[in-house]
Amino acid sequence: MESHHVEIRHLTFEDMSELKSASERVYDGGALSVWTSAILHRLFTVFPEGQICVCVDGKVVGCALSLIIDYAKFGDEHTYEEITAGYDFTTHDGEGDVLYGIEVFIHPEYRGLRLARRLYDARKELCENLNLRAIIAGGRMPKYAENAKSMSAKTYIEKVKSKELYDPVLSFQLANDFHVRKLLVGYLSGDVASKEYATLIEWSNIFYTKSVKLINARRSDVRLGLVQWKMRPMKTLEELIEQIEFYVDAVSDYKSDFVLFPELFNAPLMAEFNHLSEREAIRALAGYTDQIRDKFCEFAISYNINIITGSMPLLEGEELFNSGFLCRRDGTFQRYDKIHVTPSEDRSWAMRGGDSIQVIDTDCGKVGVVVCYDVEFPEYIRLLADQGMNILFVPFLTDTQNGYTRVRHCAMARAIENECYVAIAGGVGNLAKVNNMDIQYAQSALFTPSDFQFPATAIKAEATPNSEMTLLVDVNLDLLKQLHSHGSVHTMRDRRKDLYTLARTDKAKQKD
């Protein structure tokens, strides 16, 4: 097989003669062969960065030409001449929001190398780097004239989309993630093969941000610190807070955005209430919760880190909840409750489940926090995912490896089915003098979706089992955007909502 050197680069004015020759080989006469030196000179003057060419063995054999336009000025009803201003290109607007494709062509002798796909990919990269919301173009339908007597242009498009018919332009565009917005009539004068019809095609830039912040912008890379907390005897609240600050300090030194503590990490303080019944002891422990929360809020500010406080018992009147707080580094905090209590929590502590199902806004995007047993209920997590959650935090406490296995495998499943990251953090060690809290087993970890952008095992990082330690791991939120739009499968998008639905009840809505 003959090998070639292929290069994608910006088109230069010196390339024009080669480009003109290639253009004339692609199209036979008419308006599509008007790419003269004067026209190209005007295009280079207004937008040189938008003109891309492909070279094979040093020879320019194809290109993609484009403009930036303010799409609101044109809308969906427009012609090629209106977009190009009759090849004067006065429509180019550096402050516009759309990259408009005005030409793509490949020399016929080089079409077997799939060079057009490279040009389309380069154009997508340009759109992303310029922070434009979309690529839009009027696509020719060169095979439509052959079918015009037997079907309408609309039917032709539908048959190409369903792959009953093949169109060299439209089929290619659909295969490259473009979708048809509408049918354009009289788009390009003289395009006999398309009967002057065109498809208005669009590719959306999933990384587009409407306004770019110079400071306090949300970053795509987020660093998490997971605390695999050791349950050790502690006699005073001060001793517990000292241990909390140690971990917050250590994790913040690595510029982490979040630190996650386990469920009921403050259980060592329950030793002083061991003379009470289990039900009374857990309620006595709840007396410390407000003080610990206030310290967490203080540390979130002083160490510039968002703290997920695991969970602690919380009394509201006579009702006991298993609750935690996301303490933001701006000084605010938001409470979350475990909504599914275990049979043991109900039996031993008379604990009640919360009623709120909501994501939490942070400076790193929307996150969810569910406590231990909650992660074993896929409906709950899916409702959070539907609210835009990117990272799910799961503080947990399990006494046996069986219990841990349930949490671990359910957390991995939630990451895959909801296309999000899931971080779990648990406690280890023994509390010999605390009733109902004597042994713990944990292996903290960060799980990912399962696709090419992520580890083959869907495990980004995991701690050493049953050892006191911290786990520091980075996640990239842009990878989730790519997965949502271009993943091998689309578990969120492909749901059959015509057959089944999932919704919060009125009770949950009232709480939120």
Q: Which helix (H) or strand (E) holds 361?
A: strand 360-362
pLDDT, tens digit (0-9, with 9 covering 90-100), for 241-285: 999 999 999 999 999 999 999 999 999 999 889 889 999 999 999
Give the torsion sign (CA, 145, 151, 153, 156): negative
How far, in Å, CA of 351 to CA of 397, rounded?
16
Domain boundaries, the chain: 6-204, 221-477
Q: Mutual orientation of helices 16-26 and 37-46 as an angle, nearest 10°?
A: 120
263 is catalytic: yes
> Please, what's the b/e burial string for 451-466 (b: 16 or more CB within 10 A of its CB; e: otherwise)?
beebeeebbbbbbeeb
Query: Strands 351-352, 319-327: parallel, antiparallel or unpaired by DSSP?
Result: parallel
pLDDT of residue 509: 63
pLDDT of residue 25: 55
How far, in Å, CA of 478 to CA of 125, rounded?
14
pLDDT, tens digit (0-9, with 9 covering 90-100), for 114-140: 899 999 999 999 999 999 999 999 999
Q: What superfamily in CATH does domain 221-477 come from?
A: Carbon-nitrogen hydrolase (3.60.110.10)
pLDDT at 29 over 70: no
Q: Which pLDDT band holds residue 3 (cuts at 50, 70, 90)? A: low
pLDDT of residue 235: 87
pLDDT, tens digit (0-9, with 9 covering 90-100), for 331-370: 999 999 999 999 999 999 999 999 999 999 999 999 999 9
pLDDT at 143 over 80: yes
pLDDT of residue 488: 93
pLDDT of residue 431: 85
Contact in structure between 418 and 461 (CB atoms under 8 Å): no
Mean pLDDT of 392-414: 97
Q: Which pLDDT band holds residue 412 (cuts at 50, 70, 90)? A: very high
pLDDT at 74 over 70: yes
**Number of Cβ atoms within 10 Å of the Cβ of 302:** 13
Unique residue bearing structure tokens 């057959």: 499
Catalytic residue among 143, 230, 338, 460: 338
Catalytic residue among 372, 376, 410, 419: 372
Query: Strands 319-327, 306-308: parallel, antiparallel or unpaired by DSSP?
Result: antiparallel
Q: What superfamily in CATH does domain 6-204 come from?
A: Gcn5-related N-acetyltransferase (GNAT) (3.40.630.30)
pLDDT at 452 over 50: yes
* Single pTM value for the model: 0.75
How far, in Å, CA of 412 to CA of 460, rounded?
11
pLDDT, tens digit (0-9, with 9 covering 90-100), for 108-118: 888 888 899 99
In the 3-class helix/strand/coil scheme, how is 128-162 assigned residue by residue? HHCCCCEEEEEECCCCHHHHCCCCCHHHHHHHHHC
pLDDT of residue 31: 36
Which of 3, 97, 18, 1 has its CA nearest to residue 54? 18
How far, in Å, CA of 398 to CA of 378, rounded?
19
How far, in Å, CA of 197 to CA of 184, rounded?
6
In the 3-class helix/strand/coil scheme, how is 38-91 assigned residue by residue? HHHHHHHHHCHHHCEEEEECCEEEEEEEEEEECHHHCCCCCCHHHHHCCCCCCC
pLDDT at 26 over 60: no
- What are the start-end ranges of the H helices in 303-400? 343-349, 378-385
Catalytic residue among 263, 278, 376, 419: 263
pLDDT of residue 484: 87
